[in-house]
Amino acid sequence: MSFPWAKEYKPSHPFMQWMDDRLPLPRLVYNSVGGGYPVPRNLNYFWNFGFLAALCLVLQIVTGIVMAMHYAANTQVAFDTVEQTVRDVNWGWMMRYAHANGASAFFVVIYVHIFRGFFYGSYKAPREMVWLLGVVIFLLMMATAFMGYVLPWGQMSFWGAKVITGLFGAIPFVGEPLQQWLLGGFAPDNAALNRFFSLHYLLPFVIVGVVILHIWALHIPGSSNPTGVEVKSESDTVPFYPYYVAKDGWAIGVFAILFCTALFFFPNALGHPDNYIPANPMSTPAHIVPEWYFWPFYAILRAFTQDFFIIPAKLMGVLAMFGAILVWFFLPWLDRSPVRSGSYRPLYRKFFFFGLIPAMAVLFYCGGAPAEEPYVMLSQIAALYYFAHFLIVIPIVSAIEKPDPLPFSITESVLGEDEAAKLAPAPSATVA
């Protein structure tokens, strides 16, 4: 670990010593989520969402593997096998609802996790790699969730797949052949369903791999914290075990209560009724909408209603939809402010709370609404702000803003100056 005061793993039992010399797996655990990982003592509850996200991933993999045992990726029977799982498999209804609502829970958690990063500047040096890997995870999650939604082969599955794969058709010259090659046909059909199932099973394990890199990269500089001030001395940190194990533990309880309330009492609240109608390529639903977690980006896609010079509206929409997420990759270099936390950045904070958050809320709402006025115009305004926020506001704000004074250390921000002074270590013991 990076901090000199991190406790070292000392196996006492002879077997653990034997093991430690050959495969130091317990050492890895101890240094990752045990007493050997010092964490800032001042983390607030927004820092629980990383752990919750990992929990959601495990939940999705476990329930998903069970679902796959009862599923057949064939357009003739896919819908029926899912219904059979729900009706005739022991606890099949619970697995199905847990998996469907688990996807929603995962995205709720991940959106909080991402916006935590936006506000507290978690993407800034030296944690750029943590952030970049996180964006990769988010993209993989979106791909996985999209393909998973296609599998039950309901109306929204089919038409959602048709709309989203149709986006490839917007790419100039190669679009149409590319789309047909990806789908294995002219429209989503058996070939597409099979490859979606295959990828839907594969990608979660790719996500696990990237999550391991994400956590590895995080543990090099250690966790950020709400003040954004780097850890300076031992009094700034507490060991992960038992402190954050206990805090994450009870946060998991709260999460589980909310999740189970949805699972047992409102399992279909976030789903679209049309997906209980088997896919019918001859009958288009009145409004094609994706699952709620795609709504902001779907709203951005639909916001481009006019050709822009030589660029067709559809291509513009596709560019913007992907651009809306790809711009996050550049965030560490767009935001040049030396201060991390939004708590000490008065101007940035205003744009975050009165610009980005309302814009996201409007995009969420409009993405789920029909493509009519006033929703289209509202999403145009919100999308305009969204792009302006990341590409224009953040670079300018970080140049002109005068940040509030930062506390000297985490300890000082928690205990106050006088108390912290008593604890202050000799200057030689501090690390940069």
Partner 1 sequence: MARILSILVGLFFTVALAWSFGKGAYQQITEPPAATAEHEFHLHPKEVSFASDGAFGRFDRQQLQRGFQVYKEVCAACHALRHVAFRDLAALGYNDAEVKAIAKGFQVPVYNNATGEVETREGMATDYFPPVLYAGQGTPPDLSLITKARHDGPAYVYSLLTGYQNQPAELLKKFPDAKTPDGLHYNPYFANLNLAMPPPLTGEGQVTYSDGTKGTVDQMAKDVSAFLIWTAEPKLEKRKQTGWPVLGFLLFATVLGYMSYRNIWAGKKH
Residue 331: how many CB atoms within 10 A of its CB?
19
Select which of 234, 236, 248, 412 is catalytic. 248
Give the list of residues 6+ apart from residue 348 with CB closer than 8 angstroms, or none.
Answer: 337, 342, 394, 397, 398, 401
Select which of 104, 122, 157, 223 is catalytic. 223
C-alpha to C-alpha distance for 368 and 377, rounded to whole angstroms = 14
Considering the rule CB under 8 A, would residue 418 count as an interface residue with partner 1?
no
Rule CB under 8 A: which of 336-365 touch partner 1?
Answer: 336
86 vs 163, which CB is nearer to partner 1?
Answer: 86
* Residue among 309, 314, 327 nearest 388 (CA): 327
Considering the rule CB under 8 A, would residue 18 count as an interface residue with partner 1?
no
Query: Which residue of 136, 206, 263, 406 would you call a contact of partner 1, by CB under 8 A?
Result: 263
Select which of 124, 162, 232, 247 is catalytic. 247
Considering the rule CB under 8 A, would residue 41 count as an interface residue with partner 1?
yes
**Stretch near partner 1 under the rule CB under 8 A, chosen from 177-185, 214-222, 352-360, 369-377:** 369-377
SS (H, E, C) 175-186: HHHHHHHHHCCC
* Residue among 245, 307, 241 nearest 7 (CA): 241
The DSSP element (H or E) to which 40 belongs, if any, is strand 38-40
Query: Which residue of 380, 397, 409, 412 would you call a contact of partner 1, by CB under 8 A?
Result: 380
Cα dihedral 231→221→114→141 (10° resolution):
-160
Considering the rule CB under 8 A, would residue 284 count as an interface residue with partner 1?
no
113 belongs to an annotated ligand binding site = yes
The DSSP element (H or E) to which 118 belongs, if any, is helix 92-120
Query: Which residue of 46, 201, 276, 292 would you call a contact of partner 1, by CB under 8 A?
Result: 276
350 is catalytic: no
Query: Which residue of 304, 344, 364, 375 would you call a contact of partner 1, by CB under 8 A?
Result: 304
C-alpha to C-alpha distance for 160 and 279, rounded to whole angstroms = 11
Residue 178 CB-density burial (10 A; 0-12 exposed, 13-18 middle, 19+ buried): middle
248 is catalytic: yes
* Residue among 250, 224, 219, 236 nearest 30 (CA): 219
Considering the rule CB under 8 A, would residue 167 count as an interface residue with partner 1?
no
* Residues designated catalytic: 219, 223, 247-248, 291
User: Given the rule CB under 8 A, which residues bind partner 1?
Assistant: 41-43, 80, 83, 86-87, 93-94, 97, 238, 242-243, 246-247, 249-250, 252-254, 256-257, 260-261, 263-265, 267-268, 273-274, 276-277, 286, 303-306, 308, 311, 313, 316, 320, 323, 330, 333-334, 336, 372-373, 376-377, 380-381, 383-384, 387-388, 390-392, 395-396, 399, 414-415
